Amino acid sequence: MYDLAVIGAGPGGYVAAISAAKHGAKVLLIEREQVGGVCLNRGCIPTKAYIASAHALHAIHKSSEFGIELAGAAAINFAKAKSRKDEVVSTLRGGIETLLKGNKIELVRGSATFVDSGLRIGEREVDAKNIIIATGSDWIDLPGIKRDGEKIVTSDEVLEWDSLPKSLAIIGGGVVGCEFACMLSEMGVAVTIIEATPSILPPVEAGISRLLARSMKSRGIEILTSTFANSASVTASGVSISLSTGNSIEVEKVMVAVGRRPFVEGLSLASAGIETDGRGYIIVDENFMTRRKNCYAIGDVKGGFMLAHQASAEGEALSEYLFGGSERLRDIGPIPKPIFTYPEVASVGLTSEELKRDGIKFSTGRFPYAACGKALCDGETEGQVLVHGDEDEKVLGVHAFGEGATLMIAEAALAMKAGLSVRQIAQTVHSHPTISETLAEAAADVYGSAVHKMGRKS
C-alpha cells in the first residue's frame, strides 16, 4: 500500500511526488513517456534553449550598433542548435531522475488505468491511500487541417527538425505561436501568423498585445488577424492554406498551435466516478479533490492557466496539505504569466479589460523603456510597464513588454503576494541602472509621482 500514487511525472506530478516523499510518504510515480512531461521534453525547456540561440544571433546582428565589426555575416546552424537543445533537456531530465531516486520514489514506466481496487499499470495492480492525476495536456486538432508530421506539424515536430524551412505559417497567435514566430523569424524563416481573433495573445492586456504585434511586424513577421485557416493542402513544394478571407497562401511548412486539451486517454475516469466538464477537464474542489474521495487532479488536466510553474506550485501545496499537517490547502496565487517573445511579455493580476468588465475603479501607471538608462545602454528601448492600482493603492495587475519582463514580473508577483501597495513598490529602492526601475516608476505613476516622466496626475 502506497501513501500516494501520482499519475504523470511532469512539472506537477514529479514535484508533488518529491514534496510528499520529503514529508515521509511512500510514493509511486507513474509515467508513460519521459520524466519532466511536455514542459521539459517538448515545451518550455527545449523552446527556451532555441530562443537562447535566437537571442545570441540577434545580438550578433545588432553588434554594429555597439561598435563591433564582423568579418562576415552570421547565420544559424540549426543542427548544432538542436544538439545543444538536446543536451540541455538530457541534463535536466537526468537531474529529475536523480532527485526521484534520492527521495526513494518508485518510478514505474507505463500507462495507468483506474480499477475498483485502485490502479492498473500493465498487468500490475496497485493500491494507494491517495492518488494525484497529473497527466497534463495534448494538442487540439483543427478541423480541415490534418497534421501529417512532416509538412503540417505542431511545435513537437518543429523542436526535432534538423534544418529550417524557408517559410512557415503558424495557425494560432497565442503564446506558443508568438514565441515560435519570434524565434524562427530571427533565425531567418519567413513567418506568417494566422489568428482567428482580432488580436494576437487574446488574454493579454490589449495595449501590450498591440505593442508586440507592431514590433513583430516591424521585423517582417506577417500577422493575419480575424482570419481562419479553412483548409490546408500538401503540395509538391509545400502547403497551400485556404483562408476565410477568400485568399490563400503558399508556404513550405505549417505549424498548428490552436490550444491544448486535457490528456485523460486510458484512465477510465467515468468508471472511477471522476467527473469532467464539457471540455474534458477534470472537475475538482477547492482542495483539488475530484468527485472520487482521496483522488486529486493538478495542472493542465483540470484546466485553468496551462503553466508549468502553476502545476508545480499546485503539486507542492497539495502534498503539504496531504502529508505536511496543513489544515487547508495554501493559496498559491497570484500566478505570473511569462511569454518569451522578442521583446518579452509578462503579466500578473488583472488586465484593464477585466477590471472594466468587473466594474472596479482603477488608475494605471505607465513607464517606457525608452526613459530607462539600462534599456538605453543595452540597446533595448522597445518596451513599457503598466501598473494598475485601485483607490487604496492596492496593486491589481502588472503588465510588462520588453527585454527582462519575464524576470521583472516575479517582483510584481511577490509584491502582490505580500499585499504591498503601489506606493510601497515605488518607494522600495531599486538598483540603478537596472530594468527593474521601470516597475518602480510605473508604480509611482499610478499616484502621479514618477520622477522620470513628464506631467503629474491630478
On the question of pLDDT at 366 being above 70, the answer is yes
Catalytic residue check, 55: no
Q: Which three cell numbers stand for residue 182?
A: 519570434
pLDDT band at 457 (very low <50, low <70, confident <90, very high): low
Report d(CA 320, CA 323) in Å as an integer: 5
pTM over 0.85: yes
20 Cβ neighbours under 8 A, 6+ residues apart: 3, 4, 6, 27, 319, 322, 323
For the segment 161-182, what is each residue's pLDDT rounded down to a tens digit?
999 999 999 999 999 999 999 9
Tell how strand 260-262 and strand 137-139 pair up. antiparallel
Number of other CB atoms surrounding residue 277 within 10 Å: 11
- Asked whether 214 and 248 are in contact (CB, 8 A), the reply is no
Grid cell, residue 205, equals 492586456
In sequence order, the β-bridge partners of residue 384 are: 368, 401
Torsion of CA 49, 55, 57, 61, to 10 degrees: 180
- C-alpha pair distances (Å), 297 with each of 12, 16, 244: 10, 11, 39
Question: In the prediction, which pLDDT does 458 show?
Answer: 44
Residue 392: C-alpha distances to residues 118, 347, 447 (Å): 52, 21, 10
Model pLDDT, residue 456: 61
Whole-number pLDDT of residue 362: 98
pLDDT band at 294; cut points 50, 70, 90: very high
The single-letter code of the amino acid at 341 is T
Strand ranges, E, within 92-226: 106-109, 112-115, 118-121, 124-126, 128-133, 137-139, 152-153, 167-171, 190-194, 222-224
Which domains does the chain possess? 2-139+261-323 (3.50.50.60), 152-258 (3.50.50.60), 343-446 (3.30.390.30)
- Asked if the model's pLDDT at residue 409 lies above 90, the reply is yes
**pLDDT exceeding 70 applies to what percent of the chain?**
99
Say what the pLDDT of residue 326 is. 83
pLDDT of residue 152 exceeding 90: yes
Does the pLDDT of residue 73 top 90, yes or no? no
Confidence (pLDDT) at 54: 98
List the catalytic residue out of 61, 399, 430, 432. 432
pLDDT, tens digit, for every residue of 25-68?
A: 999 999 999 999 999 999 999 999 999 999 999 999 999 999 99
Are the CB atoms for 333 and 326 separated by under 8 Å? no
Rounded to a whole number of angstroms, the distance between the first and last alpha carbons of the chain is 66
If pLDDT is split at 50, 70 and 90, which confidence band does 189 have? very high
**C-alpha cell read off for 42:** 517538448
Residue 158 has pLDDT above 70, yes or no: yes
Per cent of the chain over pLDDT 90 is 95
Q: What is the per-residue pLDDT across 239-290, written as a single tens digit (0 to 9) for each?
A: 999 999 999 999 999 999 999 999 999 999 999 999 999 999 999 999 999 9
Burial of 93 (0-12, 13-18, 19+ CB in 10 A): middle
- Mean pLDDT of all residues in the chain? 96
Yes or no: say if 126 and 5 are a contact pair by the CB < 8 Å rule: yes
